[in-house]
Amino acid sequence: MTVIRLREGGPWTEWELSAEHAAVLAASEVVRIAPGPRTGLWRVRDNRLVGAARIGPAHDPVEVRIAPKTPIDRLFFLLGYAHKQRGWRQEDVDAGEHPDLLPALAYAFARAAERALRQGVLLGYRETEEALTVVRGRIRETDQIRRRHGQIVPVEVRYDDYTVDIPENRLLLSATYRLLRLPGIPAGTRRLLRHLLVRLDGVERIVPGRALPQWTPTRLNARYHTALGLAELVLRGASYELDDGRTLRVDGLLLEMWRVFEDFLTVALSDALRPYGGRSEMQDRRHHLDHDRNVPLRPDLVYYDAGGEPVAVVDAKYKIEGRPGEHEADLYQMLAYCTVMGLRSGHLVYAAGDAESWVHRIVGTGGVRIVEAVVDVSLPPDALLAQVADLARQIAVDTERAGVTA
């Protein structure tokens, strides 16, 4: 098997690949690929994804492993903070000494699931519909007449079954099976995962391709919360549909780093803005560029005052900002947000770059300002959250300068 090892944000590297392997890599868009200096040699680099995957046919796949530039403990903090509303406590995540994402995540999930099941497998009520020879629960009269008109038995019934086969356990079981078939999982972690299969006997796996079952954080399933947050992350698998209708199998676990940063920033900034009053709306879909509402806008975060009027807009950009105005398209996008919402300032927030904020005063707009700010995701959690708090303070100050009180 061909194994390609890359690093997020790293330079182009050269690899010996067949034409078929190069084609499936290009189609997957997991990496960027270009012809090298001679036949059979290809230049490859990351495409803003981290993790590991096998790409292509099962009999001859290419294995790609992409190490994140952000340290694993920092990456898990970003993920955990963004998922905290689902109960994921980042302080409970133990990634061991694994430097790569997939082995670290597999180990963290195995340990979290083992802790969750230590007190026994969670049971719950599940609504079941089936045909029985005796009445149990409630008779489904419409189904009985339609399917078994004139018959006494079997009886179409609906009842609540107290069982281990509930959404929480299905998520744990399905994530365990998925990790066991992924590349690069150490033998020790595989032993922990196989032990989980024994503990979850009687639970059904989630059918691949279907939506994940919904669960609600409660006091009863509190010990499952961290494991469930990690399980949902593990189960974000994908198959890619090609233009000619064929399906390209991408079997692995890959994270879009731009989405990780965006999710963290919007949740953390919403928390930091709360003391200033008003409310924050993430991924706000109510705004459009045109009067006919044919061109939707979706800023990452809109800050509203107590009366429901927008007073600030923020967009997260997982890019390295080297010079002021280097990303003109981002400035145009933010100007559109400010114009539609009638705002005097907007904020672009980058994950790395110059530590100084840049302020652009836009010509012909009557004083619209676009601020480019940076938060350093490689910092320890307390320092990173302090940077977000400073950003929230700046947004609040800009709002006051504009004569708006949240």
Tokens in use for 159?
Answer: 């009842």
Each residue's pLDDT tens digit, 323-338: 555 678 899 999 999 9
176 and 158 in one domain?
no
SS3 (DSSP) at 50 = strand
109 and 50 in one domain?
no
- Per DSSP, 323 falls in state S
Rounded alpha-carbon distances, angstroms, from residue 69 to 50, 91, 379: 9, 21, 12
Alpha-carbon gap, residue 225 to 321, rounded angstroms: 36
Residue 239 covered by a domain: no
Alpha-carbon gap, residue 356 to 12, rounded angstroms: 29
Residue 242 covered by a domain: no
Return the number of other C-beta atoms located less than 10 Å from residue 158's C-beta. 14
Tokens in use for 113?
Answer: 């699931």
Check if the beta carbon of residue 25 is closer than 8 Å to that of residue 62: yes
Q: In the chain, how many domains are there?
A: 4
379 and 277 in one domain?
yes
Measure CA of the first residue to CA of the last residue in the chain; give whole Å.
58
Residue 102 covered by a domain: yes
pTM over 0.75: yes
394 and 335 in one domain?
yes
Residue 137 covered by a domain: yes
pLDDT given for residue 91 in this prediction: 56
Domain that holds residue 224: 72-122+165-234
229 and 153 in one domain?
no
Alpha-carbon gap, residue 398 to 281, rounded angstroms: 18
327 and 210 in one domain?
no
Residue 263 covered by a domain: yes
Out of 182, 199, 234, a domain closes at: 234
Check if the beta carbon of residue 321 is closer than 8 Å to that of residue 332: no
Alpha-carbon gap, residue 121 to 32, rounded angstroms: 44
The backbone torsions φ and ψ at residue 285, rounded to the nearest 5 degrees and listed phi first, read -105, 5
Which residue(s) pair with 63 in the sheet? Answer: 3, 54
Nearest alpha carbon to residue 181 among 224, 248, 234: 234
pLDDT given for residue 147 in this prediction: 83
User: What CATH number corresponds to the domain at position 269?
Assistant: 3.90.1570.30
Residue 245 covered by a domain: no
307 and 355 in one domain?
yes
Q: Return per-residue pLDDT of the chain as tens, 406 residues.
A: 789 999 998 999 999 999 999 999 998 889 999 999 999 999 999 998 898 888 888 788 899 999 998 888 888 888 888 776 555 555 566 777 777 888 999 999 999 999 999 999 999 877 777 787 777 777 887 877 778 877 878 888 777 777 899 999 999 999 999 999 888 899 999 999 999 999 999 999 998 777 888 888 888 898 999 899 889 888 865 444 444 444 455 677 888 888 889 999 999 999 999 999 889 999 888 999 999 999 999 999 999 988 889 999 999 998 754 555 567 889 999 999 999 999 988 999 998 755 567 888 999 888 899 999 999 988 889 999 999 999 999 998 887 765 554 4
313 and 216 in one domain?
no
230 and 82 in one domain?
yes
* Helix axis angle, 381-401 to 257-273, nearest 10°: 60
86 and 130 in one domain?
no
Check if the beta carbon of residue 315 is closer than 8 Å to that of residue 300: yes
Rounded alpha-carbon distances, angstroms, from residue 115 to 86, 121, 192, 225, 340: 18, 11, 11, 11, 50
Tracing tokens 């990496």 back to the chain, one arrives at 31
Return the number of other C-beta atoms located less than 10 Å from residue 272's C-beta. 21
pLDDT given for residue 402 in this prediction: 57
Q: What percent of the chain shows pLDDT beyond 70?
A: 88
361 and 392 in one domain?
yes
152 and 110 in one domain?
no
Give the β-pairing of 247-256 and 49-55.
antiparallel
Residue 248 covered by a domain: no
The residue type found at 353 is G
Q: Which residues contact 277 (CB under 8 A, 6 or more apart)?
A: 305, 306, 405, 406
Which residue(s) pair with 303 in the sheet? Answer: 280, 312
Each residue's pLDDT tens digit, 190-241: 999 999 999 999 999 998 777 888 888 888 898 999 899 889 888 865 444 4
Residue 244 covered by a domain: no
